[in-house]
Structure 1
């Protein structure tokens, strides 16, 4: 960040940026990619059966619906995105 500010003509050190951020109680974004386990499968239970046998074709509306959910990492945790599609 100090480099960007210096390029814009603002003379500031890294230590001052860190101090100001600490006082404002804000944190920078880490470039490190951590691995977070979001789902733990219970081995006592079997996976759900494939009711459409991987054939995602429907001859009319409201016959086949598919859904998916994913996690999006954010600053304060995860955002959850779910979608449902009428095939």
Structure 2
């Protein structure tokens, strides 16, 4: 049996999961010496591509910050008796100690 047919046999036997490094290990264990580059080249000519599994990331949940509000002096009373009596603004964009505080 030639090398290409052995590579195809190992690839099909393992459901297309094995790539060139694992096929090299199987071939070396059976007594056939071949480089990983040669195996990869043969696999590429016969369009044998292994399954690439996506790594599972263990992500930690972000800590939920408790939003603190100041006292509500307006109480949704928007009627004004005189000018400059009530000023309202948004200061979430102001940088403090080179950090954005929201």
Sort the TM-score into its range (normalised by shorter chain).
0.3 to 0.5
Q: Give TM-score scaled by structure 2 length.
A: 0.30
- For the pair shown, the structure with the greater C-alpha radius of gyration is 2
